[in-house]
Amino acid sequence: MAIFKGAGVAIVTPFHEDGSVNYEQFGKNIEYQIANGTDAIIVCGTTGEASTLSHEEHLEVIRYCNEKVAKRIPVIAGTGSNCTETAVYLSQEAEKIGVDGILVVTPYYNKATQKGLKEHFTIIANAVSIPMILYNIPGRTGGVNILPETIVSLCREVKNIVGVKDATGNISQVAKLMALAGEDVDLYSGNDDQIVPLLSLGGKGVISVLSNVAPKQTHDMCQKFFDGDVEESRKLQLEAIDLIAALFCEVNPIPVKKAMNLQGQNAGTLRRPLTEMEPENVARLEKAMKAYGIL
């Protein structure tokens, strides 16, 4: 049984102007997601700016999210690190908080071998009892890529490693993975412009940036596919392409926070080294949001 099926939001962490976490707004954002059909909340991932949260903030954001959601939908906590011991610590603490699963990114900067990746993920998974999803995003990790054979091996050999969020953008690699995997790997798209293609290869859903500003549409894109209305699912995917491109015209989460602020969701500021969006890109984003009907 997959941790979730459908559209999970990679939720932003809203900040006050002084840079502190805006928990009141965070609660409103969580309620907005649940009210609009989001199937799971992924907290403290890349989009949640986990890399610039202190360990105390990181765990408090997870705790707040888990308590606010109150088991209405699954909560999956980002607990990855380039340090195995740190990832173990964060994962164990997240388990104590009561989340439904963890998302663990490929170690960045260290540039581990496939052997190193297997040991890293195995040690973390063995330190907890809740399900774990691997997060393969070479663009954020110095080009380190978890190969299909490694993913399948981990999912088969480690009982609580259940799947992967694939943000490689490499459809051929995903096809190879799923050909090898059988029913042993729960696949989630990590790219909003490839939701339907990955569903067609056996994906369970998406961990989505788009869902922050278009939760119902993203949920429906997945649900229509599962219901057998592939044509409508495809239509929803293609309608969102220009908006998705605008949401990634600068590094995530710069554009999505701007988009949320434009919608009145009050995502607030960014933490350095991220900076505010360039004016010409803001204009592009506004145009795409208006064309999509969410502004």
Closest of 146, 81, 80, 82 to residue 110, by C-alpha: 82
135 is catalytic: yes
CB-count exposure of residue 233 (10 Å: 0-12, 13-18, 19+)? buried
Rg (alpha carbons) of the chain, rounded to whole number: 18
165 is catalytic: yes
- How far is the C-alpha of 200 from the C-alpha of 125, rounded, in Å? 28
Which of the 8 DSSP states describes residue 277? P
- Look at the block and give the residue holding tokens 């605008």: 246
Angle between helices 114-126 and 148-157 (to 10 degrees): 30
Give the residues across from 136 on adjacent strands. 166
Closest of 254, 200, 259 to residue 231, by C-alpha: 200
- How far is the C-alpha of 204 from the C-alpha of 215, rounded, in Å? 17
Amino acid identity at 44? C
Catalytic residue among 5, 135, 204, 292: 135
- How far is the C-alpha of 224 from the C-alpha of 70, rounded, in Å? 27
Give the residues across from 33 on adjacent strands. none
Catalytic residue among 118, 165, 224, 257: 165
Tokens found for residue 34: 């649940």
Positions annotated as catalytic residues are 135, 165
